[in-house]
Amino acid sequence: MIDSKVKSILFAGVGGQGILRASDIMCMAMMEAGFDVKKSEVHGMAQRGGCVTSHVRYGSKVYSPLAESGSIETLVSFEKMEALRYLKFLSKDASIILNTEEIYPPAVNRGDSEYPNDVIDFLKNHYPKVIALNAAKLAHEAGNIRAANVVLLGAVSNLMNIEKSVWESVIKKSFPQKLLKLNLDAFQMGITA
């Protein structure tokens, strides 16, 4: 086991975006790199287009699968406005990976509520590192829009001290052969985005 303080990553987005799959791959990479790791996730009602979050925590010994508010070092937001929902959990010097894709909540669809229009500027004004990318567009270029979650993993991998070979090994374990090249390409697109 590696000797290190526990760190936390928060994955957030909307049901159906592949958030839990992405946080699983992240955990497997941490395990393979020699860390203890725990993650939390929410099932059930959240799959029906509701909010989905997953905390991933790693270090030499992890107790809680949930991080304390105000302590999370990295946020990976799979949807633009969802990033704003969880800022309470972030430390003041947190890094944010932001997918700029917008998915309207029902109240916005009905015209009863506005979609916030200042998300990226707001985040940049409050946090030292905000990396915004259109993961859906990049995934589409890699071959399938559904690989947007792996694009975002590529982007967050830049912030973590883990060998690329480890990531590639866990991606190989996570997808069937016919989807492998697509996902490795998507991961690379996230790294270079």
Partner 1 sequence: MKKELMSGNEAIARGVYEAGVRFAAAYPGTPSTEIMEEFAKYDGVYAEWAPNEKVAVEVAIGAALGGAKALAVMKHVGVNVAADPIFTVSYTGIAGALVIISADDPSMHSSQNEQDNRNYAKFAKIPMLEPADPQEAKDYVRLAFKISEQFDTPVFLRTTTRVSHSKSVVTLSEPQISEDKTTLAYNAGKYVMVPINARTRRVEVEKRQQALKEFVETFPENKMEINDPEVGIITAGMPYNYTKDVFPNFSYLKLGMVYPLPEKLIRDFASQVKKIYVVEELDPYLEEQIKAMGIKVIGKEIFPYTNEFDPGIIKNAINSNLESAVSPYKENLAQRPPNLCPGCPHRGLFYALKKSKAYVHGDIGCYTLSYLKPLEGLHSCICMGASIGMAHGMSKALGEKGKGKVVGVIGDSTFLHSGITPLMNMAYNNSDALIIILDNSTTAMTGMQEHPGTGYTLMGKEAKKVNLKVLVSALGIENIKVIDPNNIKETQSAIKEELANSGPSVIIAQRPCALFKRANVKSQPPLKVDSDKCEGCKSCLGLNCPPISWKKGVTKEGSKRKGISFIDATLCNGCGLCAQVCKFDAIS
Give contact residues for partner 1 (rule: CB under 8 A): 6, 14-15, 24, 27-28, 31, 36-51, 62-71, 81, 84-89, 104-111, 113-116, 122, 126
Q: In this complex, which beta carbon is closest to partner 1, that of residue 111 or of residue 176?
A: 111
Q: How far is the CB of 46 from partner 1 (least distance, A)?
A: 7
Paired tokens of 75: 């946020």
CA angle at 32 for the pair 190 and 78, rounded to the nearest 5°: 30
Distance CA 49, CA 52 (A): 9
Q: How far is the CB of 101 from partner 1 (least distance, A)?
A: 11
Non-local CB neighbours of 191 within 8 Å, separated by 6+ positions: 154, 155, 157, 158
Q: In this complex, which beta carbon is closest to partner 1, that of residue 124 or of residue 188?
A: 124
Q: In this complex, which beta carbon is closest to partner 1, that of residue 100 or of residue 188?
A: 100
At position 75, the amino acid (one-letter code) is L
Q: How far is the CB of 160 from partner 1 (least distance, A)?
A: 17
Distance CA 131, CA 63 (A): 30
Q: How far is the CB of 192 from partner 1 (least distance, A)?
A: 26
Q: In this complex, which beta carbon is closest to partner 1, that of residue 45 or of residue 163?
A: 45
Closest CA to 26 of 149, 188, 178, 189: 149
CB 37 within 8 A of CB 56: yes
